[in-house]
Amino acid sequence: MSFSARAVVVAIVAAISIATLSVARAESGHASWYALTSRTASGERCNPNAMTAAHRTLPFGTKVRVENLRNGRSIVVRINDRGPYVNGRIIDVTKAAAAKLGFVEKGTTNVRLTVLSSN
């Protein structure tokens, strides 16, 4: 393979890789909320008034759009903790985030998560 042909192949592979990374990852499931003030898994103090959340696997600092599938409300949170540790739940948001999403009284809701950026 000539140098220019290799360069074209490398450019195509790079373009495919970039396009793959830019496709938003999404998942759906149940969300719950918490209002602790202890340290999070990232070392930050949990702030119930912040727009943050716990997820089992997403890197700390990842921005995620959380959409309440019951009422259509959505917000952006930053992952700074690990959890939830209850079967069937995919994210724990702070009480303030749950209030904006409209599910504080209910305790849980169905959501769709869309990863916007990750570290």
Let me know if residue 3 belongs to a domain: no
Two structure tokens written together for 72: 């259509």
Let me know if residue 96 belongs to a domain: yes
pTM metric for this prediction: 0.78
CATH code, domain carrying 57: 2.40.40.10
Other C-beta atoms within 10 Å of 51: how many? 16
pLDDT digits (tens, 9 = 90+) for 71-84: 999 999 999 999 99
Count of structural domains, the chain: 1
Angle at 111 between CA 107 and CA 116, to 5 degrees: 125
pLDDT digits (tens, 9 = 90+) for 90-105: 999 999 999 999 999 9
